[in-house]
Amino acid sequence: MTGFTILGRRWGRVTRFLSLFCLCLLFAIACTPREQTNTTPSSPGTTTAGDGRITVGTTAKPRTLDPADAYELASLGLVFNMSDRLYTYEPGSTEIKPQLATALPKASADGLTYTIPIRQGVVFHDGTPFNAKAMEFSIKRFIENKGKPSFLLADTVSSVTATGDYELTIKLKKPFAAFPALLAFSGVCAVSPGAYEIGAGKFKPDTFVGTGPYKLAQYGTDSLRLDIFDKYWGEKPANQGVNVQIQTSPVNLFNAFRTGAVDVAYLSLQPDQIRSLEEGGKKGDWQAITSQGSVVSYLVLNRNQKPLDKPEVRQAIAAIIDRPLLMERVLYGQADPLYSMIPTTFNVSQPLFKDKYSDGNFEKARQLLTAAGYSKDNPIKIPVWYPSSSPTRSLAAQTLKSLVDTKMDNIVQLEVNTVEGATFFKDISKGLYPAALLDWYPDFLDPDNYVQPFLACQKGSDAKGCEDGGSQTQGSFYYSETMNKLIDQQRKEQNPEARQKIFEQIQTQVVNDVPYVPLWQSKDYVFAQKGVSNVQLDPTQNLIYKTIKK
């Protein structure tokens, strides 16, 4: 699964791995139709010429609309468009800007206390006034209702308090420089205290009452209707509302767009369909909009499994990888080669894998393997695993095997294996797979989220590797006390320049130790009909409804 066939988001713990399998079941889960307000007689999935409404087509079926439990892109994309958060992103930028806050937070000298000024003159969809107390309620509910994404704040926040009518104070358990980025997560939005309650498991999956530019008018199994919220505090949407059509398959979405039944198509089309629609865009039949994605794909190497316990072997594999070949044969150019665990979305990213190993550097790989004691008579055998639900990773694995078979003179033998998704994500943290192909969907947009979940280890040793921590969860079992210290340092460092230097050290160590080999970074594709304008994605892959106009 790559960034252009997204079913949901991936997270860096055992529960997060297991949840990805659950995401694969989402398309089989239907939400009970629930009408919230009077709507026009027309179906939510139809458009009326000249009514100013936008029809968005997708295959992404939401599991819930409750922001305290919304964990997948299908749900978060809808929550995002009906809500406001303290902070949000400019399209095309990972820099946060105030939304329900009026300024960036002020952090105390010790990095433990954040003070946030709150916007005045805002009301919820049900007419309840918004203030600091309502934001305190919303954040406490996000944590205490114990939904799927609750760990994002529960692991970090010690307390949240309205210290004035329009001032919020949040205290952390320990310093975390990336904390403001957590407050831009779509689910950490304001919800009406009059419509929700706090308590573990007290969710409302088929309703939404926030402060955003749209209110939920109708929610059914195959369509949603979002109407303009006439008391919205900010800039009003450029359209008269949005109809969301949930298609049952990529083929249906593809055909619905080609026939003009939907104005905008986003998530999820197959690579060959994307290629076809791109060609149509070049001919002027419609618009093809591309943006850099935040999803990364990588090869995990288990240092607790022979022969991958030898650094030279892991380095040799890094030298063998031919990213341009993968781009051509597997991804149809619908991704970008990646040479760091930190994607190029962030200015701290450095292409050190390209500098040190390049692509398809078979001579370097032979030298490393020869030094490690391997030869044609004593070949190295490496099983590579991937979940059976991913045709893209299947093709990637077969391509890598073919590359090794033809270029490495039988010194390396790759054995390609697949297993059902639930089993794969359950067993990878047990260390059963020597090498595996995985994707990573970030929790929040900060370089930390591409480092800490992969490399940190709370308990381990040089002899045994990681016994408890991110690298154990991801299946590499990487352990380095130096790396643990660097991760802690960047999490505490408030100065951006100093923090960037720490990330440089982290990336240098990764390129030498090679617990993972980065492969590619996704591109996101949206298609829009002629006459539709201002179609944009935010950097967390959400289609921004309010700017779309026709």
Residue with tokens 């997708």: 58
Q: What is the pLDDT of residue 96?
A: 94
Q: Which two tokens stand for residue 62?
A: 């939401």
Q: Which two tokens stand for residue 532?
A: 């539709």
Write phi, then psi, for 31 (nearest 5 degrees).
Answer: -90, 140
97-142 pLDDT, tens digit per residue, is 999 999 999 999 999 999 999 999 999 999 999 999 999 999 999 9
Banded pLDDT at 39 (limits 50, 70, 90) = very low
276-308 pLDDT, tens digit per residue, is 999 999 999 999 999 999 999 999 999 999 999
Report the C-alpha gap between 412 and 404 in whole angstroms: 7
396-439 pLDDT, tens digit per residue, is 999 999 999 999 999 999 999 999 988 999 999 999 999 999 99
173-200 pLDDT, tens digit per residue, is 999 999 999 999 999 999 999 999 999 9
For residue 489, give the H/E element and its range.
Answer: helix 481-492
345-398 pLDDT, tens digit per residue, is 999 999 999 999 999 999 999 999 999 999 999 999 999 999 998 889 999 999
Asked if 261 and 57 touch (Cβ cutoff 8 Å), the reply is yes
Task: List alpha helices for 342-420, DSSP H.
Answer: 352-357, 362-371, 391-407
Report the C-alpha gap between 520 and 340 in whole angstroms: 9
Q: What is the pLDDT of residue 49?
A: 52
Report the C-alpha gap between 525 and 532 in whole angstroms: 15
193-216 pLDDT, tens digit per residue, is 999 999 999 999 999 999 999 999
156-166 pLDDT, tens digit per residue, is 999 999 999 99
Say if strands 34-35 and 214-219 run parallel, antiparallel, or are unpaired. Answer: antiparallel
Banded pLDDT at 32 (limits 50, 70, 90) = very low
Report the C-alpha gap between 143 and 5 in whole angstroms: 30
233-249 residues labelled b (16+ CB within 10 A) or e (exposed): beeebebebbbbbbbee
* C-alpha distances out from residue 54 to 219, 244, 299, 355, 545, Å: 16, 8, 40, 46, 8
Of the candidates 84, 163, 76, the one whose C-alpha atom is nearest the C-alpha of residue 130 is 84
Sheet holding 157-164, edge to edge: 106-107, 113-117, 167-172, 157-164
Of the candidates 288, 322, 509, 331, the one whose C-alpha atom is nearest the C-alpha of residue 404 is 322
pTM of the model: 0.86
Residue 6 predicted with pLDDT over 70:
no
Say if strands 223-228 and 435-440 run parallel, antiparallel, or are unpaired. Answer: unpaired
Sequence-distant (≥ 6) Cβ neighbours of residue 49 within 8 angstroms: none
The torsion of the CA quartet 486, 186, 131, 235, rounded to 10 degrees, works out to: 120
